């Protein structure tokens, strides 16, 4: 996989974790959705200006788009997605969600990080 493909795959993964379609990302970044698709497939040579627009639209630091082999990246992204989802929930909803999480085998028995 070359650097364009890696960068495109990384952007696609972050976009999906943020719950955005290609069209929504394109609109937020002021780019065309066809460009986003080609970029995610590694078919487009992305300019630095467009990378900056995409990072801003995804609400991530520019360097996040280049974290190809970070071992904890997926875990961090999932945690961030969970926290973002919980952000607008009521305190009661958060309590219920915590109870559900604690029902998952190993959840209460394992050490806290």
The pLDDT tens digits for 36-69 are: 999 999 999 999 999 999 999 999 999 888 887 7
- pTM of the shown model: 0.62
Residue 107, pLDDT score: 56
Q: How far apart are CA 6 and CA 41, in angstroms?
A: 9
Residue 26, pLDDT score: 96
Mind listing the pLDDT tens digit for each residue in 58-113? 999 998 888 877 545 667 667 777 877 887 889 999 899 888 988 888 755 455 54
Q: Which long-range contacts (CB under 8 A, 24 or more apart) does 62-66 make?
A: 64/10, 64/14, 65/7, 65/10, 65/11, 65/14, 66/7, 66/10
């Amino acid at each position: 996989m070359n650097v364009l493909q890696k960068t495109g795959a990384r952007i696609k993964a972050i976009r999906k974790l943020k719950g955005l379609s290609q069209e929504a990302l394109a609109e937020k970044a002021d780019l065309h959705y066809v460009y986003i698709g080609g970029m995610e497939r590694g078919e487009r040579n992305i300019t630095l200006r467009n990378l900056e627009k995409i990072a801003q639209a995804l609400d991530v630091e520019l360097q996040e788009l280049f974290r190809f082999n970070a071992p904890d990246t997926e875990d961090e992204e999932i945690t961030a997605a969970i926290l973002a989802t919980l952000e607008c929930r009521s305190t009661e909803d958060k309590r219920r969600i915590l109870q559900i999480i604690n029902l998952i085998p190993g959840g209460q028995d394992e050490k806290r990080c």
